[in-house]
Chain A
Amino acid sequence: MREIIAGIFICMGTIVFALSLLGIYRLKYVMNRMHAAAMGDTMGLGLVVIGLIILGHDVFHIAKYILMILFFWMSSPIASHMIGKVEMLTNKDYDERVHGK
């Protein structure tokens, strides 16, 4: 039973990863791509790690997974923030591109 629930979570996470990859491949603009990539980093990783936590053996095993998620959920938004900032500062057509003026 435990394995089946964990398998469902991991499969859902993998599907989210596949969707985010598809998004990165299909979308053309940096901001849109960031949106797609963030989905895999947050929801996809979260679902996969929940599945692995259900399969975990002991407390330390689970604590490592939680640390992994904490690290990713701290570092990935900062990286996205920096990418977005650089795009905003360097792209001359930013207003036109984003607000459609």
Chain B
Amino acid sequence: MKEEKSFWRKLNAWINGEEALIHADEYIARREQPKKRQWLKRPNIQEIKSNKGLYWFLCVLISIVFITIMLLVVSNLPTFGDPMDPANNEVMERYLEKGIEETGAINFVAGMILDYRAFDTFGESNVLFLAVICVLMLLKRDKKNISEAEDKEIAEDEMLDAADHKSILKVGAKYLSPLIILYGIYVILNGHLSPGGGFSGGSIIGAGLILYAAANGHKKMQTFFTFKTFTGISVACLLTYCACKSYSFFTGANHVGYAIPKGTPGNILSAGFILPLNICVGLIVAATMYGFYALFTKGDI
């Protein structure tokens, strides 16, 4: 009956709003701590690394597993040059046989990516543009997302940069960057005649711009390439691309009732829309490359 009595006492105390436990302090001091459950047992990396034998064993095991998977996949690939390959179908024949006639481009790759599959390339250019917009949102220096300490740091950096003469780099960039940019322009303009095209030529031009900016500083670069130029180039090129391809799709995407002359294949002014589209893609890529560099180093274009 003792238990019941204590139960009633407890209930009574609980109803009256008193302490339910009679010897609460003693109980709290003596009780066992509830065990923290480890739901996720994380392997301790330091422990594994100190255990050299296990570490090497795991390394070798994981490598062997991945090597085996890769070799199995490679051995199951169709052999190169087999006429029965899934890649050797009527699409490829069509591209090779009628490519020059239908697109006017000697470089089949340019004909493919900018004529047969131009919509896909448009998406790629948009992806580049979106990537730059995301980086701009995250990294661009605004009044809102910059503190005084950061401002001080940047001013210090610029002072150090100005104190550094960089004479060797300046002379090198003076002679090299125009050559690099010229070569990039050549690659873009010859995109439909020789290997190359918008993406590769654009990245070459971007490299030249980055070299110039690294040698001559951010301020000098801003005399001809500001944020406004950047947005202008990107948006204008995307819109031009969109307009050209819209016209092409509007006429049925099969070159019937299509007023753009193809010219003689091999001339620089030939291949219909491929040359302007290459120029658009090249400008977007060049601006994007330089934009990434400027945003990641200075936080401003």
Contacts and interface: CB of A to CB of B under 8 A. Distances in A.
Interface of A: 71, 74-75, 78, 81-82
Contacts of B179: 71
B172 interface: yes
B176 A82 contact: no
B60 interface: no
B168 interface: yes
Interface residues of B, number: 6
Given A71-B176, A71-B179, A74-B175, 11 more contacts: A74-B172, A74-B176, A75-B172, A75-B176, A78-B168, A78-B169, A78-B172, A78-B176, A81-B168, A81-B169, A82-B169
Nearest to A67: B179
A79 to B, nearest CB: 9
Nearest to B160: A89
Please list the 3 inter-chain residue pairs (A to B) with the smallest Cβ-Cβ separation, ordered nearest first.
A78-B172, A81-B168, A75-B176
A75 B214 CA distance: 14
A71 B180 CA distance: 10
Interface of B: 168-169, 172, 175-176, 179
A78 to B, nearest CB: 4
A78 B211 CA distance: 11
Contacts of B169: 78, 81-82
A22 to B, nearest CB: 22
Nearest to B175: A74
A75 B169 CA distance: 9
Nearest to A82: B169
A25 to B, nearest CB: 18
Contacts of A74: 172, 175-176
Contacts of B168: 78, 81
A72 to B, nearest CB: 11
A82 B175 CA distance: 17
Contacts of A71: 176, 179
A61 to B, nearest CB: 15
Contacts of A82: 169
A71 B175 CA distance: 10
7 contacts: A71-B179, A74-B175, A75-B172, A75-B176, A78-B168, A81-B168, A82-B169
A78 B168 CA distance: 7
A67 B1 CA distance: 106
Contacts of A78: 168-169, 172, 176
Contacts of A75: 172, 176
A82 B165 CA distance: 12
Nearest to A78: B172
Contacts of B176: 71, 74-75, 78
A59 B176 CA distance: 23
B172 to A, nearest CB: 4
A78 B177 CA distance: 13
A71 B211 CA distance: 14
A75 B176 CA distance: 8
A48 to B, nearest CB: 21
Nearest to A81: B168
Q: Count chain B CB atoms within 10 A of each CB in A74, A78, A81 and give the residue with the most.
A: A78
